[in-house]
Structure 1
Amino acid sequence: MAKTWLRRSVLACGVLLAIPVSAQSIDAAKLSSVGVFSLLGDSVQASWAEDKPTGTRVDRNGGQNLDFKGIGFDLIALRASDAALKRANPRVQTGLYRAPQELSPAQQRALSEGAAKAELPAWMVATINKDKLDHLLIITRQRGTISADTADSMAIGRGAVEGIGFYLDTLYTMRNQTTGALSSGLIAPYAQIRYQLMEVKSGDIVAQYDVRESFAYASREAQGSLDPWMFMSNEEKVRALRDLVERGTERALQNLLAAKR
């Protein structure tokens, strides 16, 4: 992927600064023309704990091959961002963009890290110049520790996950809150997404927010499948991931655009 040094290619840009995970915010009234770049793509990851059992439907590294094409993560993130920006500042002009080709989670992390060193892909820099954007909102997949919320407000999980997908684990004995059934194992849809707001004139990342969200689901039946992948239907899996992206984007924008005190 070709990258462009912003200090040279966009004369108004300087060096970008790394921002802590905790959110900083910007006054939405200062925004005029914002380019929202959702680079999420449609891939779905799957992550097992180290002691993954045999006889399951999903391999440890099978996430890229899961059949969820057309799930629409970018469209969800772009629409939610656009709505939040216009609620915060009805006069703001927005441009909504996706990557010209799908980027792997590792490529997205590299792009996010590159932004902190004043590097962005050439196609993004060309868009900045062509559309005269004064701010960018860059949305990328990240990697982090899994912490899945249960119905009784516990947080469980072992190890790290990446991007958007499902964490599966057979260590825990779970109770389904709807049916009361006890089962071994869980499936947890998760989202690990970074939102970086960049000011083009200064080149600074003026706000950043990381979404790290996951919810644990148990089997509905006490004598059901021993494979946690089967605890949810495909329709439920798709709906859960879409909801995580939509709610995560809304929460991120609420934090990024909080009024200055």
Structure 2
Amino acid sequence: MMLVDSHCHLDFPDFAEERDAVIQRAVDAGVAYMVSICTRVKKFEPILAIAEQYKQVYCSVGTHPHNAEEELDITAEQLLELAKHPKVVAIGEAGLDYFYDKAPRAAQAQGLRVHIAAARRSGLPLVIHARSADEDMAAILREETEKGAFPFILHCFSSGAELARIGVEMGGYISFSGILTFKNSQDIRDIAATVPRDRLLVETDAPYLAPIPHRGGRNEPAYTAETARVLADTIGVTRDEIAQITTDNFFRLFTKVPDPRKAG
């Protein structure tokens, strides 16, 4: 059984003192690969260094919506140049976060569109952060897809059913985190049950959002297995089947990551 944590933050200080052990625990839990996600282009080098150090780790390059105003000078060309590195397999995370509103909404939208341009031109998947911004996110996805399709993933999905439907309609994938396991997340499980199986992914968003039974503590990539277990129950398949489904989907979307199952 192979799982992939499609979204974590291994560069965060939460892991600094035991990163080797964290990655080993993930491997022991069946998590063969982890994608460590960039939140500031200007702090990209440490993220890349971690990806270069561990064969199981890949990374993205991009600006989180919280930091959008700080990095309005980042261009699609700069993202594309950094994305040439073999360990950089995605663009982002970028998006809209109206829950915290840490950056002006216009800056968030501007940054998102720059990242979309980079994803469209590179063919790398755009990791999209969407929180409390369903209507505007749906509008941007529609507008930008009309200009030309681009691969994307709605990560750590906690939005409404309509955004999930539109995301799939636009060709996107939906990734579920530990939120899926929370007792008060039946609405998210109901949405997960409607997502086509060929568009499902799992992630941790570690160190945040540890799934049950680890809720309240630090999350880590090994716990991908807990979210996968709940997703399997939600859509009515076995744990081995959900591992196969989500791993197949990962390699279909993250085309730059070599699929070891095809080696030789």
Q: TM-score, normalised by structure 2?
A: 0.25
Q: Larger Rg: 1 or 2?
A: 1
Q: TM-score, normalised by structure 1?
A: 0.25
Q: Which is helix-richer, 1 or 2?
A: 2
Q: Which has the higher contact order (CA 8 A, sep 6+)?
A: 1
Q: Which is strand-richer, 1 or 2?
A: 1
